[in-house]
Chains A and B, each alone.
Chain A
Amino acid sequence: GAGVSQSPRYKVAKRGQDVALRCDPISGHVSLFWYQQALGQGPEFLTYFQNEAQLDKSGLPSDRFFAERPEGSVSTLKIQRTQQEDSAVYLCASSHHRVTAEAFFGQGTRLTVV
């Protein structure tokens, strides 16, 4: 596709449920990022992949959050035992080379934990 694609667009999870969020980056983009955006706030960094290598996961808020990009393209962000404070929009972004290149964001997945 022409842009970064995320699915699902919306997810409602019961507290304690596990969720998996998918990101299809732009083809050929080396760098992939996950961000969390709470209502009225700027995106906050979660994790960064360069190809299949997860080079930075310093932003993951707890060990309930796990991300992978096994073949260097599609990435999945998994949240185990969801809690209400996990409710947010999860944005995926990709860029052609390094961090400082233009980042292309997907539409995001809005997660609501009830």
Chain B
Amino acid sequence: GQQVMQIPQYQHVQEGEDFTTYCNSSTTLSNIQWYKQRPGGHPVFLIQLVKSGEVKKQKRLTFQFGEAKKNSSLHITATQTTDVGTYFCAEEYGNKLVFGAGTILRVKS
């Protein structure tokens, strides 16, 4: 079935450093969603990207959708301790969202 691969699996950064997670697919995606899950919490929707080459920003977060719609990235500028959690990308496939395995972000203060 469909599968999106996320890298890295885990990243530990110093507070103030930047962070990027990547989501890759072998097939063209109709759209991509990004979710954040805090430790012990539930996934919370961040954004949806639909158009080829689309770039969206939310404060310190920048989301990109590749020109070929086969990859996406989430970049956080100047991480803060509140950014801690697991970031998932998810693609629409039929009647469901297929989630990547996630990237765990830890921030050292």
Q: Render B92-109 as a binary contact track against A, CB cut-off 8 A, 1 for contact.
A: 101111111110000000
**A91-B42, A91-B43, A108-B42 are contacts. A103–B97 as well, Cβ < 8 Å?**
yes
**A43-B43, A105-B42 are contacts. A100–B100 as well, Cβ < 8 Å?**
no
How many B residues touch the partner, as a band?
20 to 34
CA distance A9 to B89 in the complex (A): 25
Q: Are B42 and A106 in contact (CB under 8 A)?
A: yes
CA distance A79 to B50 in the complex (A): 36
Chain B residues near A48 (CB, 8 Å)? 95-96
- A18: interface (CB < 8 Å): no
Q: Render A14-35 as a binary contact track against B, CB cut-off 8 A, 1 for contact.
A: 0000000000000000000101
Could you tell me which residues of chain A, from 41 to 65, have a CB within 8 Å of some CB in chain B?
Answer: 41-45, 48, 55-56, 59
CA distance A102 to B44 in the complex (A): 9
Q: Are A99 and B42 in contact (CB under 8 A)?
A: no
Q: Are B95 and A55 in contact (CB under 8 A)?
A: yes
Chain B residues near A100 (CB, 8 Å)? 30-31, 33, 48, 92
CA distance A14 to B92 in the complex (A): 36
Which among B30, B94, B102 is the interface contact of A56 at CB below 8 angstroms?
Answer: B94
Task: Choose among B30, B95, B101 the residue with the greatest number of A CB atoms under 10 Å from its CB.
Answer: B95
Q: Are A42 and B102 in contact (CB under 8 A)?
A: yes
**A56-B94, A99-B92, A100-B92 are contacts. A107–B102 as well, Cβ < 8 Å?**
no
Could you tell me which residues of chain A, from 91 to 114, have a CB within 8 Å of some CB in chain B?
Answer: 91, 93, 99-100, 102-108
In the complex, given contacts A42-B102, A56-B94, what are 5 additional A-B residue pairs having Cβ atoms less than 8 angstroms apart? A41-B101, A43-B97, A48-B95, A100-B31, A100-B48
- Sample 29 A-B pairs with CB under 8 A, ordered by A number: A33-B96, A42-B88, A42-B90, A42-B100, A43-B43, A43-B88, A43-B97, A43-B99, A44-B99, A45-B97, A48-B95, A48-B96, A55-B95, A56-B96, A59-B96, A91-B42, A93-B43, A99-B95, A100-B30, A100-B92, A102-B48, A103-B33, A103-B97, A105-B42, A105-B43, A105-B44, A107-B41, A107-B42, A108-B42
